[in-house]
Structure 1
Amino acid sequence: MSHVVSQEWLFEHGTDDHVVIVDCRFALGNPTSGRTGYDTDHIPGAFYIDLEEDLSAPKAAHGGRHPLPNLDELAAKLGRIGVDSDAFVVAYDDQGGAMASRLWWLLTYLGHERVAILDGGYTKWKETGYPVTDEPPVERAAEFRPHVRPEILLSVDEVKQRLGRPGTVLIDSREPRRYEGLEEAIDPVAGHIPGAKNRFWKDGLTAEGLWRPASEQAERFTDLKDAEEIVVYCGSGVTACPNVLALQQAGFTNVKLYAGSWSDWISYEENPIATGNEERA
């Protein structure tokens, strides 16, 4: 099953009984902008889910800037917006799919694979002239029963155990300059986890902001074809998710998320830090 649906598909199927549309718009540094944008206009029938209020737990000493949410609370939220075992969830944002991919990954982690992101997001939807509304969606409560898949998630200790392990590849999803440690405007320490390769998540998009097809995603990761395990991280566990999705689209199966990511890694003073581009070393 494809994890990306087209604008045309959602326009034709958005009102189907089993389809649940979720607006995930959110901007780091302006946390109210997503909800404000949603209240102004959104895709008809869409529910709003907030990155920090719904898809993350409060920040603590460890766990990163966006720790995974309380799963019982998330399951209850999903049930309130109509997600049950038969639902097909379509998530969108206006930031290239990063926030929508976070919901995609969390649903996958909770054992619900009937979920996709909207190609082109809300920006493309409005540019195309598809309908928008400021009307709230009709509530259709359901029961969401999670079936957690712990095998696709790694803790900081599990990542440390894998450093230098043959067959395991770490992927850093941040911008190259942050990966190399040349700049860091968000976290207090610059650099990357030793041994990690850099694959900027936005390289999975075309210049028009559309999702690259599976063949082009495979080209981004062609050097990983012999990897036995791929561990993906970013700054806080959010923009790693589109790379996890891209890897799955490219045919990789043993892909895991280090949800705490760089912001969690550097919260432990004893953890090693690397700088520069290791692939050019």
Structure 2
Amino acid sequence: MKRIYTGFFLALWLGSTWAQTPGPLVDAAWIAENSCLEDVRVLDIRSKKIDGESRSEYALGHIPCAVHSDYVKAGWRAKKGAVPGMLPPIDELERLIGALGIDETTHVVVAPLGENAKSMAAATRVYWTFKLLGHDRVSILNGGTRGHAADKSRSLETGTTTPVPKRFVSRLRPEMLPDHEQVAAAAADGVVLVDYRRADEYLGITRNGKTQKPGTLAGAHNLPIEWLTVDNGGTLRSPEALRRLTVLAEIDPEAPQIAFCNTGHNSALGWFVSSEMLGNARSRLYDGSMAEWSRLEERPIERKFAAAD
């Protein structure tokens, strides 16, 4: 009996200082209760500057106890050769994450601006990075900081929160990081390829400046990320709606899938929807995406719009 009571009171004590493990998405109410707990690190990844370059949105107002890590400048992505936006060296990511006060016991909540689907894709790219590094205690703030701040009853902090550095040790999951050869082999085996860019890029009507050629991977389906959030805002649609949209795009939500876009940014949101919200454990993200694929002479590209420029 003594052991039972000890466990009960220990659970009560832990419940007051440690967060309940949530799912891949948390809402503003969860953040309001948990953002300053010992084992929670809210990661504000906004990049926008106010008054030119003098002050960041983070400094002017952020979720209490959140730390800042600029998605664009902090080192979450790197240029490899001529290909932009790819996964940096693992040791660099370990140092980046540890410096933010994160170790294997920390529950990370990624808080983007929440302006639109592209903003939410930044959060899912960071989320995917943590998962790739073997860190499962990670969530995303649905609606982002903008959604949190919409309720005027919720307070924001100003200034800067400086974390105490920790040692972060990754446990890489290489199966989550297919290279172009593995993508080509998977496509030959019938794995579904999903292009999460706008339709004009998918069709080859326009070419993104980070790619060398217009078009898409041969046989790919198209599901623009703007479909995945409510009115292209910062709130993800329900799993039921996302499943219907996937089927509308003629994609089997249960089938093995490789998500891609131009640089692995948009497709991180597609991967998140497929893997984390719809439970497709056979969904993967092609990091190099069209920025890499279009530079490889041996890799075919399908251009559905073939009229002369």
Question: TM-score w.r.t. structure 1 length?
Answer: 0.88
The size of the alignment, in residue pairs, is 270
Partner of 2:85: 66
The alignment partner of 1:90 has SS state of strand
Residue 271 of structure 2 aligns with an amino acid whose one-letter code is V
Q: How many angstroms does 1:183 deviate by?
A: 1.4
Per-residue Cα deviation, 1:39-60 (whole angstroms, up to 9, x for no partner): 3332222222233432112352
Q: How many angstroms does 1:221 deviate by?
A: 2.5
Q: Distance in 2 between matches of 1:161 and 1:33?
A: 46
Q: How many angstroms does 1:33 deviate by?
A: 7.3
Give yes or no for contact 1:80–1:142 (8 Å, CA) kept in 2: yes
> After TM superposition, where is structure 1 displaced by more than 6 Å over at least 4 residues in a row?
32-35
The alignment partner of 1:235 has SS state of coil
Pairing partner for 1:259 from 271, 277, 287:
287
Q: Distance in 2 between matches of 1:24 and 1:157?
A: 32
* Structure with larger RCO (C-alpha < 8 A, sep 6+): 1
Which residues in structure 2 correspond to 1:118-197 (within 5 Å)? 118-129=141-152, 130-166=154-190, 168-187=191-210, 188-197=212-221
Partner of 1:48: 68
Tell me how large the CA RMSD over aligned residues is.
Answer: 2.3
Q: How many angstroms does 1:196 deviate by?
A: 0.8
Query: Is 1:275 the equivalent of 2:303?
Result: yes
Query: Is 1:213 the equivalent of 2:238?
Result: yes
Residue 4 of structure 1 aligns with an amino acid whose one-letter code is L
Change (3 A) 1:254 1:273: same
Q: Structure 1: which 5+ residue stretches go unaligned? A: none
Q: How many angstroms does 1:92 deviate by?
A: 1.5
Partner of 1:87: 106
Q: Distance in 2 between matches of 1:205 and 1:124?
A: 13
Residue 237 of structure 2 aligns with an amino acid whose one-letter code is R
Give yes or no for contact 1:154–1:257 (8 Å, CA) kept in 2: yes
Partner of 2:14: none
Change (3 A) 1:225 1:138: closer
Residue 75 of structure 1 aligns with an amino acid whose one-letter code is E
Give yes or no for contact 2:253–2:274 (8 Å, CA) kept in 1: no
The alignment partner of 1:136 has SS state of coil
Q: Structure 2: which 5+ residue stretches go unaligned? A: 1-21
Question: TM-score w.r.t. structure 2 length?
Answer: 0.81
Partner of 2:269: 242
Give yes or no for contact 1:45–1:138 (8 Å, CA) kept in 2: no
Identity of paired residues, percent?
26
Residue 227 of structure 2 aligns with an amino acid whose one-letter code is D
